[in-house]
Amino acid sequence: MKTFTCLFFVLFVLALPVVAAAHGTDYSLVMEEQVIAVKFFYSDKEPMRYSEVLIFSPENNEVEYQNGRTDQEGRFAFCPNKPGMWGIKVNDGMGHAVNTTITVNPLTVPGEKTPNVTQKKKNLFAESSMWLRIFFGLSLLLNIFWGLQTWKGNHK
C-alpha cells in the first residue's frame, strides 16, 4: 500500500501543469539619449559595408565599449554614456582600416537634433583633390617602373 501511495503521489506531481519561466523579448526606441551615427567609406565614396567596428570609451582604450559591424551603407551607431574622447576602429578585413577619435560633449538638451560631436580627421588623402590623387598615383607607377629598371640593370 505504501508503494502504491508513493507512486500515486509521483504521478500526481508529474501531471500538474508547470509554468515555464523563459526569457522573453521586447524592445524600446532610443529617442531621449544621444545617439552617434558614423558613416565609413573608401576614398571613391563607396561605403565600407559590413566592416568590423570597435568603439572605445574615454576610460578604456584597450577593451571595447561596443563592437559590431557597419550596415550596407557603411553606417554604425552607438550611444555614448559619458562625454570625452571616444576611439573608433573600423576594419574591412581586406587591408583597409579607419582609426579615429571623436569628442563627445555633454548633451545639454535631451533629444537634441544635431549631435554635439566634434571629430578629428586623420585621412587627409581621401579629402585631397582629384589632381593631387592623380599625381600621387602616377608618381607611384613611375617609382615602381624606375625600381624595376634599376633592379634589372643591376642583375645583368
What tens digit of pLDDT does each residue of 45-93 get? 999 999 999 999 999 999 999 999 999 999 999 999 999 999 999 999 9
CB 57 within 8 A of CB 81: yes
Q: Which residue has the cell 560631436?
A: 117
Q: pTM higher than 0.75, yes or no?
A: no
For 29-40, the DSSP string reads ---SS--EEEE-
d(CA 137, CA 127): 15
d(CA 40, CA 21): 42
CB 105 within 8 A of CB 118: yes
Q: All domains of the chain, ordered by start, with CATH?
A: 31-107 (2.60.40.10)
CB 120 within 8 A of CB 101: yes
Name the pLDDT band for 110 (thresholds 50, 70, 90): very low
pLDDT at position 109 over 50: no
